[in-house]
Each structure stands twice: as structure tokens, then as C-alpha cells.
Amino acid sequence: MRWILVLLLVRLAWAAPVPGQPAPDFALADLHGNRVSLSQFRGRVVLVNFWACWCDTWKEEVRRLKRLVAEHPELDPVILFVSVDTRGRSQVEPLLAREGLFFPVLMDATSRVSRAWGVTTVPTLFVVDPEGVVRYLHQGYPGNPLLASELAACRSGEPVPLTAEVLDDFLLPAEAEILRRLNAERARRGLVPLLLDPTMTEVGREYVQRMLETNQRGHFGPESPDARLRSRGLRFHKLGENLSQAPSPAEAMLAMLQSPSHKDNLLHPGYRHVGVAALRAGGGYLFCLLFGQEQR
């Protein structure tokens, strides 16, 4: 199972490789004209980040990645920044000169590689393990605590530990409050707490963002959450979904508990995983909760 620091997401149009499958190899020129391929780094953990200079979040990504490498030298990842800017080097190089980058910036001006990788949003970041397999995928930057945990997991082969630091960095305050209230209600009724799943949370955020952009409420559009989660490599034999608009987490949870269909999901004894998304909408929030029981 995997896992926005909510940054501006800019939509393009195609479906990312499923985590657990081999990463498509590529060879692209860097800013100096040197050919760099993914396969030449086999045996190391690689971060492949698709970005564009017209999406302002790239500067913050660079700063966070610098801090990540400085604070966790033991992780030693290869970082490949793949630019989808259509004007190529002349568009990118002046901006990057001020940032003092220490990792390769590769040019994909024709979007040949981004299409092969199914990139639909910039930034999109893939974590590739030493065997060349995609292990984690994030649309938007996930935050350094979570990313550091994923890099360590790729090196050790162990699952990502969901520490308090990871959760605090990953969840927005409204999302954390919803999760706390949800598990408190489940505990009051003798049910096991739900485990936060970052991928389900990211999918929920994507749906909420789509609804806010299209001004549609109350449904998930033509693509079901289950199909979206399958595209991230997750399988569930039971999946529940809740949507609520409310001024606060407390009122959202109260409204969900008063709705029979929502209450069934919140208090379903078989569910083990939850994704919690909250984005500001008008004077309050639009909340999306996805619940899942993993397929065995």
C-alpha cells in the first residue's frame, strides 16, 4: 500500500504505470547534451520526477529534495528531473541556473517519455526500486517524511512505517481531525481503528479537486474510485465511499453518522483502510472518505 502535500496540480491527459510493475526504460539528453538512461542506475533507488517550469511548484520541490538529501545521506537516491517543457533547454536552463541543482535535468520536449509513463499531471513523482520496479507513485509532492520512508523501504524491502511525523506532514489539519473523530467513534463502538492509506487519500483528493473544478457535487464522475485505485496497483474486494460538504470536520462526521448509507461505511467492521481528503469549498470543506478491505 502506498501514499500531496497539497501543491498546485496541473492536468495534462493519459494513466500511470501500476506500482509493482517494471518501470519503462528511457534515454534522454540532459542540459549538457549527455544521454542519461534509467537502466544505467539499476541497483540503486531512483526518483523520477516529471515537471514543467510553468508549474510554479517545481521550485519548492527542488528545495525539499535538497533538504531530503542533506538530512538523509544514507538513502542516497538517484534523482532524475524530467522536463516536459515544449521549448526544451532554452526555456528551462535560465530558471534552473539560480537553483544550484545537483541532479540531472532531462529534456522530454516531445513528451515521448511522459506519455510512455502515463503522466497526466505535473508534478508526478515515481519511486523506482533497485530492481527497476515502480514501487510508489505521487501526483504532487508527497512531503519529505513520507518520501524518506518510501526510499528506506525500497532499500530494505520492508513496508513504509506510518510514523506520527509522516502523518503530520502528509495530512491536512482537517483531514487529520476527520481521521481522529472517525477512529474515536469506531473505538466507542468496539471496532478496530482504520489505517490511513496515502494512495486512497491522494485518489480522494483528486476526486474532490475534480468536483471543485467542474462544480459537480455528490458523485465521483465517469471513473469509479475502484478503477482509479486499481490504476495505482491496489485491489479491494469491498470498497465504500462517502462525500460530505460541511464547515468543519466535526459537522461533517456528524452528518455522515446521521446518514444510513454513510454510517454503514464509517462503522463497517470489515473495513481496514481509509483515505481521507478535505479541500476548502466556499465557507467550509468538501470531504471525501474512501474505505477498503484488502483483497487476499
- 123 preceded by a cis bond (ω within 30 of 0): yes
Q: Where are the alpha helices (DSSP H) in 89-219?
A: 89-96, 112-116, 144-156, 164-170, 173-188, 198-214
- Taking alpha carbons only, the member of 131, 171, 142 closest to residue 49 is 142
The pTM assigned to this predicted structure is: 0.72
With a cut of 90, say whether residue 108 has pLDDT above it.
yes
Work out the pLDDT band at 15, boundaries 50, 70, 90: very low
Q: Given this model, what pLDDT does residue 237 score?
A: 73
Neighbours of 222 (CB within 10 A): 6
- The answer on pLDDT for 233 being more than 70 is no
Q: Comparing C-alpha atoms, which of 25, 18, 68, 71 is closest to residue 48?
A: 25
In whole numbers, what is the pLDDT of the chain averaged over residues? 82
* Sheet order of strands, 284-294 included: 195-196, 273-281, 284-294, 236-246
At 7, which helix (H) or strand (E)?
none
Radius of gyration of the chain, Cα coordinates, nearest whole angstrom: 20
Helices 173-188 and 249-258, axial angle in degrees (round to 10): 40
Helices 144-156 and 57-71, axial angle in degrees (round to 10)? 50
- At 215 the pLDDT is 65
**pLDDT average, residue stretch 223-249:** 75
Query: Could you report the per-residue pLDDT of 165-216, keeping only the tens digit for each?
Result: 888 888 888 899 999 999 999 999 999 999 888 888 888 888 787 777 776 5
